[in-house]
A and B are shown apart, each in its own frame.
Chain A
Amino acid sequence: MFFMSESRQISVSKTSVSKLAILALAIVFAAGLFVVGFDQGHIFSIVYGEQAFNELYIHELTHDMRHAAGFPCH
């Protein structure tokens, strides 16, 4: 009885996914949230420089979802 109880506890607390997978998903979460919710030209500025902050391609592309999902905009 003691052993049955112990093995049940072990299976309940076991996590079956790797830490690497959790880290990969955490990066996807942060990157996606930034793109949709907060980018004001930052990502394209890596390639296009200051011009990206005026053209706001990603901001305009995600504009309607920003408003609809409750992110601050304008």
Chain B
Amino acid sequence: MKTILFLTIVLLSGALAGLIHGTVNFAIVEPYLDQAIGIENQNLFDSGEEEDTPQFWAEYDGYRTWQKSGQILAGVILGISIGALFGIVFALSKNSLPGTHYVKKSLTLAGIMWFTMYLIPFLKYPANPPTVGDGETVVLRAVLYLSFIAISGIGAVAFYKLSKRFRNNQKIISIFGYAVFISVVFFIMPDNPDEITAPMNLVNEFRLMSVLGVSSFWLSVGIILGLLWNRIESH
């Protein structure tokens, strides 16, 4: 495949999947963000940090509109970014992935990356709505979250490489090895230091919507890249 075609289909599939992710979030996550920010505002009024005045709401409406309008644009940017990583891994691993159709191969890889680089890290460091999260700890939380994603992703690649040394009926050892490895990392890594100060039902429902949104990205990018790759390779 020509380099320019490869780059085009990888970036296009990431952008389209990101557009879907942003749109899904706009529909199902935004109501929870609004609720959480409502609690945040009430806390500001109660503590005296802000006053419940028309000026406050005028300023609030201005930046809230900016934030909401960014949901879909940020989805496209994030989609291109994660789609680029997905494209790299797919290009390097497509011959080893099961199946003969590229959509099956691409969906399989999307499932593996969703599980190892999103779901497992999410279980350790789940998404939180606004009003949960201390500004003082944001760097620590970012380092912990990124580290866990990197450890899980690199661990999955390492155990995959190891599996190549085993015969077919022994490859399960690698999956078991990854499970033990990531379980140990899961319990060793420090917990999120921030206390959850929002109602738990709001936090849990927000997290469920967050998972559905991110999952829509991985499903979409798997299907779209596979279809585009198949179309180009078959011509």
Residues of A whose CB lies within 8 Å of any CB of B are 12-18, 20-22, 24-26, 28-33, 35-38, 60-74
Contacts and interface: CB of A to CB of B under 8 A. Distances in A.
A65 B91 contact: no
Closest 4 CB pairs of A and B: A32-B81, A65-B74, A72-B141, A61-B70
A15 B22 contact: no
Interface in B170-212: 206, 209-210
30 contacts: A15-B92, A17-B6, A22-B92, A25-B87, A25-B88, A29-B85, A33-B82, A35-B81, A36-B74, A36-B77, A36-B81, A38-B142, A60-B66, A61-B67, A63-B67, A63-B70, A64-B25, A64-B33, A64-B74, A65-B70, A67-B127, A67-B129, A68-B33, A68-B213, A69-B21, A69-B214, A70-B118, A71-B145, A72-B133, A74-B134
Contact of A13 (B81, B95, B141): B95
A32 B80 contact: yes
| Interface residues of B, dominant DSSP | helix
Interface residues of B, number: 55
A65 B75 contact: yes
Contacts of B10: 25
Contact of B29 (A25, A37, A64): A64
B224 to A, nearest CB: 16
Given A20-B3, A69-B78, A69-B210, A25 B84 contact: yes
A67 B130 contact: yes
Contacts of B6: 16-17, 21
| Interface residues of A, dominant DSSP | helix
B161 interface: no
Contacts of A24: 7
Interface of B: 1, 3, 6-7, 10-11, 21-22, 25, 29-30, 33, 63, 66-71, 73-75, 77-78, 80-82, 84-85, 87-88, 91-92, 95, 118, 121-122, 125-130, 133-135, 138, 141-142, 145, 206, 209-210, 213-214
Contacts of A30: 81
A37 B112 CA distance: 22
B95 A32 contact: no
A33 B145 CA distance: 13
A17 B3 CA distance: 6
Contacts of B3: 17-18, 20-21
B80 A61 contact: no
Given A67-B130, A73-B130, 11 more contacts: A17-B6, A28-B80, A29-B81, A62-B77, A65-B25, A67-B206, A68-B127, A68-B213, A69-B78, A69-B214, A70-B126
A20 to B, nearest CB: 7
Contacts of A71: 142, 145
